[in-house]
Structure 1
Amino acid sequence: MNTRTKSEGPMVLPRAFALLRLLAEETRGLNLSDISGRLDVPKSSLSSTLKALTEQMFLEREGALYTLGPEAYTLSAKILAGRSIRQVAQPYLKKTMEACEETVLLAVLDSDMRHATYIDCIESPKAVRFAVTVGTRRPLYANACGRLFLAHQSKEFRNEYFKEVKLVPVTEKTITEPDDMEALLTKIRTDGISITLGDYSHDAGGFAAPIFNSDGDLVAALTIEVPISRALRETERFKDAAIASANAISRLLGHTEEG
């Protein structure tokens, strides 16, 4: 008995974390057999872990199904409350830059509701790269992250926006007609990505994907900015990378597809 306890002891904590991660993804709950199969852990070994986590209210059991309990949500809320969106997102910005070797930015909607502001930037190591200063603001209608924020505002907000803001062309590709912009914003919401190819800067392409919180609110945008030649050559690659990274941050903030 002592030998088995010693061999299993170091596995208890990793098993508990794996269990919590699994149930965070399976919001409808799983039974013992499902959990055992997913984690590749014998039912007999799981029982004590499930019992302990349920007693501590990190899990709840209803019939045969286990789901996350109130203590799991309380702990996650306390952890996230002490971290800014920049702190939460930065590891993912770095990973995305390393994978793409292009500049990756984090943007938020400015308090004036007319601009997007870059609050973090991980620059590409390449000699020819996109560069921008943290704190730079961009008009919503003209660049990738700005259009993303505009797309997720209400119809009433956009109507008022188009009345107040003149859509001045920045390049020959900038959209300046409200009806054309509305059509594009609908596509952005449908596709889950905002792409510009020379719309704000002749020599740059942008790929902006939404970051949502647990309430389903758009709280930030992850943007990959690329010299136009590479943006045109590898559009699908940068599009997929931006969406995947933004989705990962959204999940960390508690967002689910159902939410």
Structure 2
Amino acid sequence: MPDTQNRSVTRSFRIVDALSKRNGTGVSELSSAVDLPVSTVHDHLQALRSTGHVVKEGTEYRISTRFLELGHRDRRQREIYTAVADELSTAAEETGEQATLIVEEGGDGVLLAVAEGEQAVDLPAYPGARVPLYANAGGKAILAHVSPERLDELLDRQAFEPITKRTTTDRDVLLEQLDTARERGYAIDRGERIVGFVCVAVPVLDRGDTVRGSICVCGPESRMGAARREEILSTIRRVANITQVNMDYV
């Protein structure tokens, strides 16, 4: 019975995941996407409708806003999210670029909060988006400050697939980059995840020097020269420090 229950739950989440990638879809199309019989998919959809997690519009299904509610509730319960408060928006305002709060979850980087400055380019970034830790500055800032044992665990879970021509796909090269990031206190990526964009990030550490996340700012390469990066780093270091103080003492 437990194996059957586990398989059923796994199938439901496969269906939910497939639905989330489509702007409404029918049972047959969904059946092909998840490689399950139409009857099985239909049964799972009806169960998900009964709990309010899936809605039906005409002949098409989509996930409901219940997932938005759950994600928002979870986010507000995270200490680092409440600690960063308005500071992330301040960072975006001062830099003019996109600023994000990134945490590690399940071996991925997760954008917990996103703020846009006046000059920010519309990038594929939104709360809850998952990004590979090895291919962006925010992820590298986190990896550079985890314990050696945890680092091995996290790197074992990375795909090291080339997202762009500049993506670091060699584990040894990445380890060298992490050593450098640890020494200078910030990480950088130059078009490793998004072509033409440079991102810089600093870790958010708690009072015990445990990394809790990172603050990252990304902008077009044309606006991210050395002098500009130093200005941005000054801003996000301040944001990270305030976040740490809020977590430790407020």
TM-score (norm 1): 0.61
160 and 143 in structure 1: CA distance in 2 versus 1, 3 angstrom threshold: same
Match of 2:95 in 1: 100
Amino acid in structure 1 at the alignment position of 2:99? V
TM-score normalised per structure 2: 0.63
Alpha-carbon contact 2:92-2:117 (below 8 Å) kept: yes
How far apart are 1:131 and its partner, in Å? 5.1
Structure 2 match to 1:237: 231
| Structure 2 counterpart of 1:155 | 148
Change (3 A) 1:127 1:95: closer
Q: How many Å apart are 1:232 and its aligned residue?
A: 3.0
* Alpha carbons 1:211, 1:250 under 8 Å: kept: yes
* 1:117 matched to 2:114: no
Give the deviation of 1:208 after TM superposition. Answer: 1.1
Q: 2:190 aligns with which of 189, 197, 200?
A: 197
List runs of 5+ in structure 2 lacking aligned partners. Answer: 1-76
Corresponding letter in the other structure for 2:199: G
Distance 1:138 1:127 in 2: 19
- With a CA cutoff of 8 Å and minimum separation of 6, indicate the structure with the bigger relative contact order: 2
1:145-203 CA distance string (max 9 Å, x none): 11122112222333344444331111121111111111110111111111111111112
Q: Which of the residues 235, 243, 246 maps onto 1:249? A: 243
* Whole-angstrom distance in 1 between the partners of 2:214 and 2:114: 12
RMSD, matched Cα: 2.3
1:105-139 C-alpha deviation (Å, 9 max, x unpaired):
111111x1x11101111112226454511110011
Partner Cα separation in structure 1 for residue 139 and residue 118 of structure 2: 25
1:89 aligns to what?
A: 84
Task: Give distance in 2, aligned partners of 1:140 and 1:128.
Answer: 22
Is the radius of gyration larger for structure 1 or structure 2? 1
| Structure 1 alignment gaps of length 5 or more | 1-81
Alpha-carbon distance in 1 for matches of 2:152, 2:120: 42
